[in-house]
Amino acid sequence: MKRKIILASFLVLLAIFAFKKSPEKENQSILSYEVDLKNQNLKFYWKNGKGEQIRSFESLKKHVNSNNEELVFAANGGMYMEDRRPLGLYIEKGKKLSKLNNRKNAKGNFYLQPNGVFYIKKDSTSGVSETIKFDTTNVLYATQSGPMLLIKGEFHPAFNKGSANLNIRNGVGILPNGNILFAMSKQRINFYDFAKYFKSKGCKNALYLDGFVSKTYLPEKDWVSGDGNFGIIIAETITKK
């Protein structure tokens, strides 16, 4: 009888501990996705083979399907102009399709200095760099956005704890193991708290990608937050069986 009581108590405590440690419970306001470039296929997309802007997840699905691929994950990958051209630097498959935007004295989140670049190199390593320190050597993909969320583990100097500047936001950071961490807030959040999420995961550098237009396609986590009308889209695909 005592053994049954002890076992039952142990199972209850184990269940409570598991509930407290549940990632979904701890981060219920943030949708996240980790990418290991050594084992996953991540690319940046802007136009299809006909030179037409892709713009939406649905169009991207059709595009990758035509190449015998299936869409696993997708998110808008940076700010854009009214005609959906990238606002700053954009490199795709090693080719520079939009130049670096060095303008500083302008309004908007993109120009909140320092801003930065998220990039993937030809050797399947990735990073987030301040724009002024970015080196295009051996870069396969790159997108410029802003502001930086974290710089060498520190918050962007313009961020204020408790700020009332709330919005839906998506961003990207590099984890201590070198993997890429994408995150999108499910609810409106300020810059400080959004950056704090990346910091809590051990990221030293992280970059804000976009705000209220942010959408993520991630069926694996039962999240397909509608479609959008984007510029750059960052996506993971797998080859169809």
User: pLDDT (tens digit, 9 = 90+) per residue, 71-85?
Assistant: 999 999 999 999 999
pLDDT-above-90 percentage for the chain: 83
Q: What is the pLDDT of residues 124-138, one digit of tens each?
A: 999 999 999 999 999
How many angstroms separate the CA atoms of 41 and 35, rounded? Answer: 9
Local confidence band at 198 (pLDDT 50, 70, 90 cut-offs):
very high
Q: What pLDDT is stored for residue 187 in this prediction?
A: 95
Q: Which of 146, 160, 164 is nearest to 210 (CA)?
A: 146
Q: What pLDDT is stored for residue 27 in this prediction?
A: 62
Q: What is the CA radius of gyration of the chain?
A: 20
Local confidence band at 5 (pLDDT 50, 70, 90 cut-offs):
very low
Mean pLDDT of 105-117: 94
How many angstroms separate the CA atoms of 63 and 212, rounded? Answer: 25
For the chain, domain boundaries: 29-239
Q: What is the SS3 string spanning the chain?
A: CHHHHHHHHHHHHHHHHHHHHCHHHHCCCEEEEEECCCCCEEEEECECCCCCECCCHHHHHHHHHCCCEEEEEEEECCCECCCCCECCCEEECCEEEECCCCCCCCCCHHHCCCCEEEEEECCCCEEEEEHHHCCCCCEEEEEEECCEEEECCEECCCCCCCCCCCECCEEEEECCCCCEEEEEECCCECHHHHHHHHHHCCCCCEEEEECCCCCEEEHHHCEECCCCCCCCEEEEEEECC
Q: Tell me if the pTM is above 0.85.
A: yes
